[in-house]
Each structure stands twice: as structure tokens, then as C-alpha cells.
Structure 1
Amino acid sequence: MVGEESYKIIQDYIKAYNAFDVEGMVSLLNKDIKFRNISNGEVNTETQGIQKFRELAEESIKIFSSRRQTIIDCLYVEDRVEVEIDYEGIVAIDLPNGLKVGDKIQLQGKSIFKIEQGKLSLIEDHS
């Protein structure tokens, strides 16, 4: 499924993400959801299945006091949707990488989504 319906599912996912709405995010997922975070070409986080995704999402909401993904562009490639994203977040806790409470993160990246039977089955975040 690619097109307007796919874009709506992705928009709903990002809206839930921005609102720290884990239940809203999870409601859009296939039970076997695969999630990967790729930074500088290397996978630094990977999960499979709704429960593992939920655990990761619940942990990540503790890290930011605010966060916002904004869709810049969208490209349909075969059975996937590639979305260019602007990301901004405010850190809520001191992190091992040196970021401190109140630090602002801004970056651009892309997310790749695959949708099967009306649910997200793959989310890959690239930065």
C-alpha cells in the first residue's frame, strides 16, 4: 500500500510521536514491527515486535522534555515511503554523550516506512 493512505498513517504516527503518545504510536504498528535507528551509517538501535518497540518508546520519552519531527518531503519507492524529516528536541536528562538537561538537538534525516495490511511493519530512522 503506497500513496495517500500510507501518508496518512505516517502523519498519524509522527503526530503521536510528537505528542509522546506511545499508545497512539503502537496502535499503528504491525505486531512484528521492525525498528532501526541508523546514525552515520551504523545501526545503533534495533527492535522487533510491538512489545520491544513499546519498551524503547517508553524509555525514549524520558529523555526529552519536548520533541518534534516535521515532514519536509516524501518519496514513494516501491513498497516503501521515504520521508525527509527535520527533528528538534530538548533534552530532559543528562546523557552519557555529554548532552545536558535543556540542550537543544536539531538535525535533518530521513525515515523509511513500510506498511503492510494498513499497519507500519518497518520504521528506519536515518541521521
Structure 2
Amino acid sequence: MISEKSKKIIENYIMAYNSFDIESMVKLLHKEIMFRNFTNGDMNTETRGIQEFKELAEKSSKIFSRRRQTVIDYNAIEDKAEVQIEYEAILAVDLPNGLNSGDKIQLKGKSIFGLNEGKISLIEDYS
């Protein structure tokens, strides 16, 4: 079972993410945060530590004019929280894959959160 405290930390992180509030996101992270992004089963991004995470967050925030993660469900997996997510975003720039500024992206996926010392120490996004 996921504690209410852990849920609150995760919800605060998602709220900061949706608001492009990188400083508030970073305040919730453990100094040794590990972030990984998986698309179609392949890992395409990995950061280690707050500085690398912050640089990625700042870079990716410029790609979207709007973004929203919505939590659908929580599951406890060992000592981690698995969060089912619906994601919607509007692009602010043209991407090399053919998507253009103003295009809407909608995805369903999950995020795995690990917490250590009351901070988020692991985020793995799967879509």
C-alpha cells in the first residue's frame, strides 16, 4: 500500500510538472535522483543527479506550450509506487518526427516513483 505521505509528494511533483515549475519539482527530488524515459519498451533518456534532471526539465519545458499529467490510479510495486497516467500536451515547437507546433499529443502510460528519505529518488516514465 502507498502511504498518504508518498501520494502527496507524487501529487505535488505532478502539479509542479503541469505548471512548468521546475524549481518546485527539484525541491521534491533526492540528490541522487535517477530519471529514465521509456517509449515502446526502449529507454531513450536517462539522467542521474539533480543537475542533469534539472537541465533536461528546462530543455523539455520549452517543447510544450501546455502539458498535463493526470493520475488515473496508484499501485504499490515492492517499495515503489506505480502511477497510471493520462498525458496531454500541446507542442510549442516543430519536432523532427513530423509533429508541428500547435499539435496535440495524447498518451496513456505509467510512471514508477521511488522515494528515499522523504524525497523522490527514482522516476521511470513508460509510454
Fold match by TM threshold 0.5: yes
Amino acid aligned to 2:4: E
Question: Any stretches of 5+ residues in structure 1 without a counterpart?
Answer: none
Residue type of the alignment partner of 1:104: K
CA distance in 2, matches of 1:80, 1:3: 11
What SS does the aligned partner of 2:112 have?
strand
Q: Count residues in correspondence.
A: 127
Question: What is aligned with 2:96?
Answer: 96
CA RMSD, aligned part only? Answer: 1.0
1:51 corresponds to 2:51 = yes
- Asked if the contact 1:80/1:113 (under 8 Å) is kept, the reply is yes
Question: Per-residue deviation at 1:2?
Answer: 4.1
Aligned to 2:18: 18
1:117 and 2:117 matched: yes
TM-score w.r.t. length of structure 1: 0.98
Mapped to 2, the partners of 1:54 and 1:93 lie a distance apart of 20
What secondary structure is seen at the aligned counterpart in 2 of 1:107?
strand
Matches within 5 A, 1:46-85: 46-85=46-85
Partner of 1:29: 29
Q: Distance between the aligned counterparts of 2:6 and 2:114, measured in 1? A: 9
Query: 2:22, 2:85 → 1: CA distance?
Result: 20
Q: Secondary structure at the match of 2:82?
A: strand
Q: TM-score, normalised by structure 2?
A: 0.98
For the Cα contact (< 8 Å) 1:3–1:76, is it kept in 2?
no
Once the 2 structures are TM-superposed, how far is the Cα of residue 78 of structure 1 from its aligned partner?
Answer: 1.6
Contact kept, 8 Å, 2:86 with 2:107, in 1: the verdict is yes
- 2:78 and 2:39 map into 1 onto residues whose CA distance is 24
Question: Runs (4+) of structure 1 moved beyond 2 Å?
Answer: none
